[in-house]
Amino acid sequence: MVDRSRAIFGILLVLAGVAFLLNSTGIIPIGSLIGNWWPLILIAIGGYMLLIRPGSILGGTILVISGGVLLLATLDVLDIAIWQLIIALVLISIGLSLVFRGLGGGKADHSNQLTLVGVLSEQKIRSEATKFDGGSLTSVLGEVKLDLRNAQLHPDGAVIDTFCLLGDITIFVPRGWRVHVNGMPILGDFEDNTDHGQELPANAPAITITGVSILADIDIKHA
């Protein structure tokens, strides 16, 4: 996965260099195009989350809708100042994250499935699940911490899907679990700091953590 991330980052650098060259030579006014179409980046990221990583439904939906509304504003379809629109979208995103968190109530820490969203906010959950089988963690300009050290895994294992944009996600796992990480860092970190030197039995509980880190940090560790 590291090689894939480097390849993608390399392609992005090449595309950025070509765009800069075309703009500086006057062949294509890239600057004006970016000025009008930059919200497509948000739509693309959100679409990726919805299509490839269905566990991140809320975060993907927020990015797609926000990108679409901002695109209408940059193209002058909506007559509203960009900064006013951004403030409104940020407030709506915070509200949705609070409502979504509220749906879990006080039982979220005992649930076998967890969906945590931190948008300009902080989420900290200590799981007490007896058959934890996964969920999704989303952080956009926020912080999400999931402590699984008191949880028990489902016999078939668990999968956690993550998405982090300009934020932090930390997952604490107990020793004795087999940890598999399949992450894509883009100008960020996706680190597995668990102890892979320990001897584990063949039937050791297994957890897989996937996701994307964009200008952000995702850390999996014991403590």
Taken in order 199, 205, 211, 216, the sign of the CA dihedral is negative
The proportion of the chain whose per-residue pLDDT surpasses 90, expressed as a percent, equals 22
Name residue 114's beta-bridge partners. 135
Q: How much is the pLDDT for 92?
A: 78
- Across 6-157, where does the E strand assignment appear? 113-119, 122-126, 134-140, 143-147
- For the stretch 49-108, pLDDT in tens is 677 655 556 677 778 888 888 888 888 888 777 777 777 777 777 676 666 655 444 445
The top-scoring range by mean pLDDT among 95-109, 193-207, 209-223 is: 209-223
The rounded mean pLDDT for the chain is 79
DSSP for 74-115, please give it.
HTTSS-S-HHHHHHHHHHHHHHHHHHHHHHHGGGGGG-SEEE
State pLDDT tens for residues 113-127: 888 877 767 788 899
Q: Domain residues of the chain, as ranges?
A: 4-78, 108-222
Mean pLDDT of 189-211: 87
